[in-house]
Amino acid sequence: MNSASPAPDESRLAALALNDQAVPAQPAIDVDDNANATTDTGTAIAVAEKKRLAYAFPPPPDYPPLTPLAARAPIAILSTPSKGRGVFATESIAAGTVVEISPILLLSKEEYYGGGKEGDLLGVEGSMLRGYVFSWRGGGMALALGLGSLFNHSSQPNLSFELQPQTHTIQFKAFRTIAAGEELSIFYGHRASFDDATASNKAGQLSDSEDEGEWGGLAKIPEPAKQLKWDEEIIEFEYLNWIKVTNEIDPEKQPLEVFDAYVLDIPAALVQHIFSITRSIYKGQNDPLHHLKRVRPLPSLTKPHSDPTQPPVEVKMISVLLFPVHAAPENFMDLLTSSKLASEHPEVDLTPYVLPVPKHIARTETQGEEWGKIWPVLLVHIREGPKATKRSKGWERIKAEWVGREAGKCWAAAKEAGRRGENPIASHATETFDPAVHSPTKLPSTIAKSHDTRHSTRNVLSHSCSNLIDAIALLDIHGLRDSSAYLLTGLTIFTSHEPCLLCSMSLLHSRIKELYFIKSAPGSGGCGSVYAVHEDKGLNHGFEVWKFQRTSLGFRRSLAITHLNQVSSSMSLDVDPELLPLIGYFALIAFLLVLVSPALLRKPTAKSLVYGALAIASLGVTWTYMFLYFERSYIEAALRANVRPQKFTAKEWLADVSLFNEAWSYVVATPERWWWSQQLCLFTAGPFTAMLLHEGRRKDIKFVWAYMVLGQIVAISFAQALFFAALELATTNSIPATKQGQSRDAVRAGPLITSCTLLSLATVGISPYTINTPYFLPNLLVMHALLILPLLPFPSAKSPRASIPYSTLYALLGGISLALRLPAFYDLHAISSSPTQVLKTLFLHPAQSSISFDVVFATLGMAIFAIAQSGKRSTKGTLTAFVSLPVLLPLGVGVWAGMYLGLREKPQFDAAQKGKAQGGSLTEGKEE
């Protein structure tokens, strides 16, 4: 029976449509002709509606006729170990370059939230796409197409993005120069978070309150600490979250500048004659030498007395400052020669000479002392306020807290204005903080508040600051302000964004005293970005401007040594238990050096001295950078704790930081850094470990494991140089015959050394993929443990079936190292990283510099060893390996060392096998 199903109710379908609009016509729904006649009609309708709704796509938004596209920038999409895919620059990208214009798919709130509310994880929000959407104006969400969804998050991004509703696109622009090889990133918002399970995904969506938008975002201003960590009443400027915006040179930091002046040396008794001449010239005029002292003492002269019977006369001499060369009177020589001094004392030489003198008055004792070495200069401290007190070196603690609190209120008002549909900019005016008047219980009062109203008033001049001035003028008109001052005279202004040129000039004309703003306006700001209105000397008023800096990074590097001295001084005899690991670290180094010293305290040779010099150089360079890393880590830990470095203890530092994990996380993070670090890992995990055991047994070197531990906790190149010196001394000094025989037997590698080195290379291979995962540190620890294990003094045992020739092991390790190195070169090629950029990585970070120079010295040490061995032996394998040095060395010391040692050992193994076949004295060798 063929029964036609009733047409679904169109109004009901329309109500079910995702955007409450009519559903377009869809293909007819097939109904089985043989369907049971007793089928419930209501069920059939429900099934039909469900099928039809599955194809009921809402109509698209009203997109523009033409969507703009950006010219393709020099970029590449690469896979990263910790973030999934990312966008990298293949060439340098200039600041201001439009990198991408991404079309968007606009989702309504109903579509995005699936009929629920934020956080219910319904609709699109319940899928992985929630990490790829942008908050759109009007409450919708936009999914960026193109590259827009591939830019990863960074708290220090190099791209800005602008939502462009008129074209339904998002424009991404470089706001600073981006170097080749650098990842392109944007700022997702302060609520963006990553966990281990989703580290490779994009961050959570940008919420309405944190929409970056064309204003660059409204990130939350950190709340000021209720109780600052240090006790001083004055918080010095370098420790504030605010930085003064000025193009002027601070007089207290003014460098020495000089100009030429005429100087005359005369007896001190006659100086008043010179003063009378200079006073007559500058009478009623500004003296260009007012900041300098007019005389400077000279060594006394001894002249014979007019009476030969009397002893010589001592004449005190001084230098007198006359005139600046550029402002000297044209007839000043005539004034000197025709003066009373010249006529009454013809014996005095009145010929002046030119001398450079300081150009500015000294404002600090240091300036006075240093500049006074050229010519004595006056010292006048900068004084401020009605009581002419010395210039402040910082803010009172309560002022710092008050400024932070007021800025936070202003920022919150800007966000509220944005939610109301206005431009998210707000301002308010307060009394100016005066430490003589205000206290924690009596803070400056707020006079007026305003926000931007250009949208609601449709008046392009209704800026936030303009509205603020109007509000205070209105208060004055109605007599509602207890002040007769003109407009904003003497007031403090807080604003969310830097005022434009118009507002800056209005504030200056209103006579404000100081301004605090949170976010710069690079293209229009009149308080430092485009122009510094507040410092224009051609205007009859000026004011101070302070800008919020997101993190307090003002700790001076010049204090670094002081900080480290404080760390050292905290290590007294009464040792805190948390300092024991650091003390034990250096104690272990001393213990290991004692263990290996017997092998080194023998009659030196020229080659052993070379290795010794190499060890000293390696130690000096790598540990210079290591201590710089300690310093940097210490200061950064103090920053995180919001503590002044002088107050930060070694205990707090070590409790906050895992130095090992922190350093290795950095040196593995990018292709350029890994290019260096991987070399050291491959060399240590492969050839160096096998060589310690092999050559150590051959030459009867004791405690070979100690060299490996020294390499891991000091520097591999340092331990390598010490080991090579021990080998050289063992060769040239007498060894018992039994020991020589044992050393000749060691031509085969046992299963322990083979398996440990191969497994260790495997941990090297996976290291870049464990960054930012719980497996990163365990993987590193396993790698280091595997390198020590085969070097421990286990009982010897023969197991020829499970052993392989050392020549084979070396070649295998070199081949695997080569296979692991090739991806590192490919990664550099993929991001178009040049050799120059790779070399620059040497100095990017102290931890990276220490590792990279360790590679340099390890490579140099291995090359010196190869040269020394080639002179000692003329075997075909040794010569072949030495010749291969220029070819294989660029691939990394791990690759070349494995190949070289394999070729070097092959003839010895062949000779051992031949001796065994002929019944010679050589045996198959002993295992470890």
119 φ, ψ (degrees, to nearest 5): 100, -10
How much is the average pLDDT of 555-571? 41
Residue ranges of alpha helices (H) inside 73-133 are 109-113
Residue 419 contacts residue 208 (beta carbons within 8 Å): yes
- Identify the DSSP state of 686: I
Is the predicted pLDDT of residue 924 greater than 50, yes or no? no
Is the predicted pLDDT of residue 765 greater than 70, yes or no? yes
A 10 A CB-CB count for 541 gives 15
CA 122/CA 109 separation, integer angstroms: 11
Q: What pLDDT score was predicted for residue 9?
A: 43
| Distances from the Cα of 430 to the Cα of 77, 488, 514, 678, 806, angstroms | 50, 9, 10, 58, 80
Q: Is the dihedral of CA 767, 768, 769, 770 positive or negative?
A: positive
Q: Where are the strands (E) in 228-294, listed by range?
A: 234-236, 242-244, 258-267
- What's the mean pLDDT when you consider all of the chain? 76
Instruction: Band the pLDDT of 448: cuts 50, 70, 90.
Output: very high
Convert the pLDDT of each residue in 818-868 to its tens digit: 888 888 887 777 766 677 777 877 787 888 888 889 998 998 888 888 878
Q: Output 438-447 pairs: Cβ under 8 A, ≥24 positions apart.
A: 438/398, 438/399, 438/402, 439/398, 440/398, 443/398, 443/402, 444/402, 444/492, 446/406, 447/472, 447/475, 447/481, 447/491
102 φ, ψ (degrees, to nearest 5): -100, 125
Q: Classify the phi-psi angles of 706: left when phi > 0, otherwise alpha if psi is within -120 to 50, otherwise beta.
A: alpha
Convert the pLDDT of each residue in 680-730 to its tens digit: 888 998 889 988 888 888 888 888 899 999 988 899 999 999 999 998 888
Strand order in the sheet with 258-267: 295-303, 313-324, 258-267, 353-358
Is the predicted pLDDT of residue 786 greater than 80, yes or no? yes
Residue 279 contacts residue 328 (beta carbons within 8 Å): no
The mean-pLDDT minimum among 405-414, 557-566, 765-774 falls in: 557-566
What's the token pair of residue 738? Answer: 């039994």
Q: What pLDDT score was predicted for residue 486?
A: 87
CA 585/CA 567 separation, integer angstroms: 15
What's the token pair of residue 231? Answer: 């006790």
Instruction: Band the pLDDT of 674: cuts 50, 70, 90.
Output: confident
- Identify the DSSP state of 252: G
How much is the average pLDDT of 480-499? 88
Convert the pLDDT of each residue in 129-186 to its tens digit: 777 788 876 668 888 888 888 888 876 778 888 888 888 888 888 877 888 888 888 8
How much is the average pLDDT of 432-447? 84
Q: What pLDDT score was predicted for residue 429?
A: 95
- Identify the DSSP state of 754: H
Instruction: Band the pLDDT of 736: cuts 50, 70, 90.
Output: very low
